[in-house]
């Protein structure tokens, strides 16, 4: 392990803050533009690697800042090509990120799409029964640099550009809202040509104030809701957050979001045997989707036995293949747009709901 930098990470500065700092150093304004574009397009581990700015400025920055906020601790590769990263944070703690290649290939045989699943917190406080991260509890929210560096470090291990980002890793993005949105603003800055807003999705367990804020700010990124139940009783058992914001409150917020942004909503729905896979669930879910344009991602339940779940969590079982297919087909017959979320990375505990530092030695 390399030594941990004692200097603050420069990626925690917004472009405005960076501009002010450059002015305070007596640096010409055009140097900021040079630095900003090259730094975020190359994301070097040392300022000395930058070539567009003078050596004297590189030395000044090296004495004042660290260019990165974390380091790779472990990289695990799945049989399907999914990569799980364990990053050690210089400010303390660790997070996992997952790079998922699409099954579709280009003419060179490489994945047409690479999606990075990003974490927004160290651990999580929501306690969803099906999620391994719940076993870690919440340590803290990530800084701007710690969110951005998941993208930039993961990119160095991808042979093709990362095309999509989903905030579906550790933590609840809406409980680190301002920092998540600042990271989105940089990743979608047109001068950097990194990502389109349409290629970014924020997933929430149903934090209503965050949904409303996204709507009021006219965010052009996509929004996904972890639903997983069509009745408040079951959702409260699966996701304690539903005791604060029930399905009706969340649906009202989502409808408000759609009216403000005109961007369709994605519902995420893990299927559990005998709990949420009935005919009545299909009817209720169909009704929910008709309030505004939307699609449903149905997701297999992935084992989290490595967290040694207890109580209700220990009783959760994946629905049968037959029931899974039937659920999908009946939704399609009801004119619901349905996608099946793949189990990419399940062999390395990198699939949906499995991020909790397993396979870490």
Q: Is 131 a catalytic residue?
A: no
Give dist(CA 44, CA 203) in Å, integer: 29
Helical H segments across the chain, by residue range: 15-24, 29-42, 55-64, 144-156, 177-187, 208-216, 232-238, 247-261, 279-289, 312-315, 321-333
Note whether 134 and 191 are within 8 A (CB). Answer: no
Give dist(CA 71, CA 87) in Å, integer: 6
Task: Record the tokens describing residue 26, joined without a space.
Answer: 């007596």
Note whether 120 and 171 are within 8 A (CB). Answer: yes
Residue count of the chain: 361
Where does residue 228 fall: left (phi above 0), alpha (psi -120 to 50 degrees), or beta otherwise? left
Give dist(CA 119, CA 102) in Å, integer: 20
R_g of the chain, CA atoms, integer Å: 21
Q: Which of 96, 146, 172, 268 is catalytic?
A: 96
346: three-class secondary structure by DSSP: helix
Q: Which of 117, 128, 131, 352 is catalytic?
A: 352
Q: Crossing angle of helices 321-333/279-289, nearest 10°?
A: 40
Q: Is 96 a catalytic residue?
A: yes
As a three-state string, the secondary structure of 200-221 is EEEEECCCHHHHHHHHHCCCCC
What are the beta bridge partners of residue 96? 86
Active-site residue set: 96, 352
């Amino acid at each position: 392990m390399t030594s941990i930098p004692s200097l603050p990470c420069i990626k925690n500065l917004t472009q405005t803050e960076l501009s002010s700092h450059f002015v305070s150093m007596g640096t010409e304004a055009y140097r900021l533009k040079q630095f900003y574009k090259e730094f975020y397009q190359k994301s070097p581990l040392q300022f000395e690697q930058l070539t567009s700015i003078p050596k004297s400025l590189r030395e000044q920055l090296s004495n004042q800042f660290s260019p990165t906020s974390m380091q790779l601790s472990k990289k695990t590769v799945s049989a399907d090509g999914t990569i799980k990263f364990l990053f050690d944070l210089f400010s303390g703690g660790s997070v996992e990120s997952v790079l998922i290649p699409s099954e579709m290939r280009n003419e060179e045989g490489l994945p047409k799409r690479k999606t990075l699943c990003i974490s927004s917190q160290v651990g999580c406080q929501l306690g969803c029964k099906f999620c391994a991260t719940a076993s870690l509890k919440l340590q803290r929210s990530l800084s701007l640099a710690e969110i951005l560096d998941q993208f930039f470090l993961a990119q160095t291990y991808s042979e093709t550009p990362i095309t999509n980002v989903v905030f579906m890793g550790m933590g609840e993005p809406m409980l680190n809202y301002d920092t998540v949105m600042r990271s989105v603003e940089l990743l979608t800055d047109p001068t950097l040509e990194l990502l389109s807003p349409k290629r970014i999705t924020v997933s929430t367990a149903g934090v209503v104030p965050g949904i409303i804020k996204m709507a009021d700010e006219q965010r052009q990124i996509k929004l996904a809701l972890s639903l997983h139940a069509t009745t408040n009783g079951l959702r409260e058992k699966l996701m304690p957050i539903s005791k604060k914001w029930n399905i009706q409150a969340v649906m009202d917020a989502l409808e408000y979001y759609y009216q403000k942004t005109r961007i369709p909503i994605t519902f995420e729905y893990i299927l559990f045997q005998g709990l949420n896979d009935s005919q009545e669930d299909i009817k209720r879910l169909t009704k929910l989707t008709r309030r505004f344009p939307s699609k449903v991602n149905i997701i297999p339940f992935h084992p989290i036995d490595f967290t040694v779940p207890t109580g209700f969590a220990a009783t959760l079982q994946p629905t049968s293949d037959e029931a899974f297919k039937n659920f999908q087909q009946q939704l399609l017959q009801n004119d619901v747009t349905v996608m099946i979320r793949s189990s990419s990375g399940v062999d390395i505990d990198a699939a949906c709901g499995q991020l909790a530092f397993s396979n870490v030695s």
